[in-house]
Amino acid sequence: MTFETKLKMSEGIRPVQTTLNCRGRLLDLKRPVVMAIINLSPDSFYHSLDFKRTDEVLKHAEKAVKEGAAILDLGGLSTRPGSRQIPVEEEWNRLEEPLRAIGREYGADIFISVDTYRAEVAKRAIHCGADVVNDISGGLFDPLIWEVVSEERVPYVLMHNKAKPEVMVRHAHYDDLMAEVYAFFTNRLHLLREKGVKDIVIDPGFGFSKTIQHNFELLKKVETFLTLNCPMMVGISRKTFMYKTLGAEPEDVLAVNTALHFKALESGASILRVHDVKEAVQCIRIFEAYQNA
């Protein structure tokens, strides 16, 4: 009997939390929403923006908002496998002005997320208007980030990971992928709730400390994580496991990406983290029409 079968027999699917309290504003997840990626690191694997060009960043943000994004996710540090990690001040220098500018223009209409695993950057970002902390380390790289999330009372995206980007490919080993990722979430959720963190989104961590085969297995069985009773974010946008399987480039996999987004929605994803907002919003609309037929 597989781990997933045992889990379904023992727990069943409980209702998933459908709202996040973002500093007094509620983010409604009764319907799936889109989180738009805003890369401010020059070495991101796909579509980097020049953080010095605030006008360029604002145009990108405006396009994402008009196309239907509910959340804008700003990151100043590349976390692709093998990427070089930079000092805190350099990361913050990339984030600060775009974050302030987007907050002024769109902060009342959408939600702003900061993509960082560093406590100091998270705290500064929240004080500049960020509503959500999106941590690719699950609190492993800088444990103080949980203190910040607890003190500031903001939602937290808890992602599964095993190692820092520069060495993560060496750690893609599992005896039982689903059981180990599930145990990671169970343990980390318990610790977070002990600290008083209530609004938690789980992210299975596609592409992080995982092989191509691991990523497909994770997507195939991702509904397993609904038993954790947390909203689930799926971040597969133009990732390696798709374009390497096809022998293509990130620019060439939009159609495939949309197909896998539909699969993620069928499996209970509440948030799609994407580069291509219009197509993801269309995917959600088609999925809802399909579900309601």
pLDDT (tens digit per residue) in 175-210: 999 999 999 999 999 999 999 999 999 999 999 999
Backbone angles phi, psi at 170, to 5 degrees: -80, -10
Contact 98, 122 (CB under 8 A): no
Higher pLDDT, residue 11 or 65: 65
Q: Rounded mean pLDDT of 111-138? A: 97
CA–CA distance, 139 with 119 (Å, rounded to integer): 9
Q: How confident is the model at residue 282 (pLDDT cuts 50, 70, 90)?
A: very high
pLDDT of residue 8: 60
The one catalytic residue among 31, 239, 278, 285: 239
Rg over alpha carbons for the chain, rounded to the nearest Å, is 18
Sequence-ordered list of residues with C-beta below 8 angstroms from that of 205, at least 6 positions apart, any chain: 136, 138, 159, 160, 161, 181
> Is pLDDT above 90 for 51?
no
CA–CA distance, 51 with 66 (Å, rounded to integer): 21
Q: Rounded mean pLDDT of 95-123? A: 96
CA–CA distance, 134 with 157 (Å, rounded to integer): 5
Q: What is the pLDDT of residues 103-115, one digit of tens each?
A: 999 999 999 999 9
Is the alpha carbon torsion for 276, 61, 272, 142 positive or negative?
Answer: positive
The one catalytic residue among 53, 198, 273, 278: 273
> Is pLDDT above 50 for 9?
no
Higher pLDDT, residue 227 or 78: 227
CA–CA distance, 27 with 42 (Å, rounded to integer): 30
Q: Rounded mean pLDDT of 13-31? A: 90
Give strand ranges (E) for the chain.
19-22, 25-28, 33-39, 71-75, 111-115, 132-135, 156-159, 200-203, 233-234, 271-274
pLDDT of residue 169: 74
**Residues paired with residue 115 on neighbouring β-strands, in sequence order:** 75, 134
pLDDT of residue 11: 56
Ordered domains of the chain (ranges, CATH): 3-292 (3.20.20.20)
Q: Rounded mean pLDDT of 67-90? A: 87
Whether 31 sits among the annotated catalytic residues: the reply is no
Q: What is the pLDDT of residues 212-230, one digit of tens each?
A: 999 999 999 999 999 999 9
Whether 239 sits among the annotated catalytic residues: the reply is yes
Number of helical (H) and strand (E) elements in the chain, helices listed first: 10, 10
- Angle (CA) 141-146-150 rounded to 5° is 170
pLDDT of residue 215: 96
Q: How confident is the model at residue 231 (pLDDT cuts 50, 70, 90)?
A: very high
pLDDT of residue 52: 60
Sequence-ordered list of residues with C-beta below 8 angstroms from that of 41, at least 6 positions apart, any chain: 48, 75, 76, 77, 78, 94
pLDDT of residue 269: 98
Collect contacts of 244-252 with beta carbons under 8 A, ≥24 apart.
Answer: 244/212, 245/212, 250/45, 250/46, 251/46
Q: How confident is the model at residue 13 (pLDDT cuts 50, 70, 90)?
A: low
**Residues paired with residue 158 on neighbouring β-strands, in sequence order:** 135, 202
DSSP type of residue 81:
T
